[in-house]
Every structure is written in structure tokens, then in C-alpha cells.
Amino acid sequence: MLVAYRAGMELNGSSAVVTGGASGIGAAAARQLAAKGAKVVVADLQEDAGNAVADEIGGAFCKVDVTNTDDIINAIEMATSMGPLKALVNSAGIGWAQRTVGKDGSYDSAANLEAFQRVININLIGTFDCIRLGATAMSRNEPDEFGERGAIVNLASVAAFDGQIGQASYSASKGGVVGMTLPIARDLAAVGVRVNTVAPGLIDTPIYGEGEASEQFKANLQRGVLFPQRLGFPDELASMVVECITNSYMNAETIRVDGGIRMQPK
């Protein structure tokens, strides 16, 4: 028996929240979701850049610190005022690099515990807080013919698998995002919400700065990429994010988008 192909979850007339949406992968995802017809809330700490993206795509900006639950709720409420919340992209995050033990053997030179905790609070706990609150709003949506109410995509990193020297906090935070993807997807199946994670490799975003020194640094980085031997483009990551949202059979998965790179120890 032939079954007609289903186009996937419809975003036209819905709303979306993208944390970290003012730049890089988050901004690219916001643009592509808007192109699908979603009203996007750009949730970020960068007000000027965030407002610029929101104005460009006909969305709205909400100043959000993902370690602040009230900020997250404000962004979700802003989104639901524009349409049913069907998409959440968790792209907000920070990096930190420091060796676990200092060179002089003193306790004071050991890795900064507060910095470790800050990375975990933003990248892992902040992501979970967004998920639990966003999924709560999605659970109130009217389900489609297959019971679907929404989809969530988290941004992890290949550092979750190939963490380099000094990346203990960052790798732990992103590894936690990968590790919670399946249990949360199993949990949220009860309310018709899918959860996936995209793990980017080396992506050409503003994090690397600008100018000749920046270009030289990026040229050195891309040598480890299998093929194509270059840094990834934000739009290449964003297209996978959107696919995970709109493809109704994508669930509980972590996908590396990295040009085949396997990070070396340093």
C-alpha cells in the first residue's frame, strides 16, 4: 500500500525562539526559519545585533540570559503572542579553555572552578531550562494529524566527542547536551514534541575575530577538516537545524556537521 509523502511539520503561521540568535549559527537559523514562515524571537544578550536580525526577518528581539528563567519565559511568551510556538533552537553558549592543573603545582593555579561552573550553567543548564519551558508551551498546541506539536534543536559541538586539551568545561557542557537528547526525546514523545541535537565542527563565525591574524588562525584550523577542507558556513549548519525541525521523522538524534573532522588533542 502506497502512502502519500508528507511534507513535514508546517511552520507557516507559527512562532519560533532562537537563543543566541543575534549572530553566527543562531542568526542563520533564525533567517531560515523566518523564510519558512515562522515569526522568530531572537533571544540574545546582544541588543543591537539582535534587533538588527529581528528587523531583517520580520521577527522580534528579546534580551535573554539563558541562566535567568524569567528571561526565557519572557521570550517564550513573546513568541506565543505571535503564533503557536512550534520551534525552539538552543544556540546560546560560551567557550572556555584552561588546563586542569597549573604549571607550578599550586592549588591556586588549578583550573578555575567558577569558570567551569559558568560554562555548565550557560551551555547545559541554560539549554535544559529552555527545553523544559519551551516544551511546556508547545504541549498546549493543537496536535497535527500525527500528534505533533513542536520540535526542539540543541547546538552541541564535536568537542562533545573529541574534546581538546583545556576544553574540559566546554566538552562537559556539550557532552551533557548530547547525553540528555535521547532521554528528553523519550520524555517529550508523550506531548508530541521532538528533540534533536546538531554538533557543529569548525564554523566560520565572528568568534574567530576579523583581519589578517584571524584569517591565518582559521587557515591553520581548517587543515584538520577531511573534506571540504575549509571552515563550515553558518547556513550549512542552519539548514541541518531546520531539517531537524521540519522533518517529522527526525527524533532523538545527534548529528555531526563537521566536514569529517576528528579533533586532535591540541
Q: Any idea which residues carry the catalytic annotation?
A: 170
The order of strands in the sheet holding 85-90 is: 60-63, 39-44, 15-19, 85-90, 150-155, 193-200, 254-257
Q: Are 121 and 94 in contact (CB under 8 A)?
A: no
Question: What values do phi and psi take at 263, rounded to 5?
Answer: -65, 140
Opening angle at CA 194, ends 43 and 207, nearest 5: 35
Q: Which helix (H) or strand (E) holds 61?
A: strand 60-63
H or E, element range at 200:
strand 193-200
Q: Which three cell numbers stand for residue 120?
A: 555548565
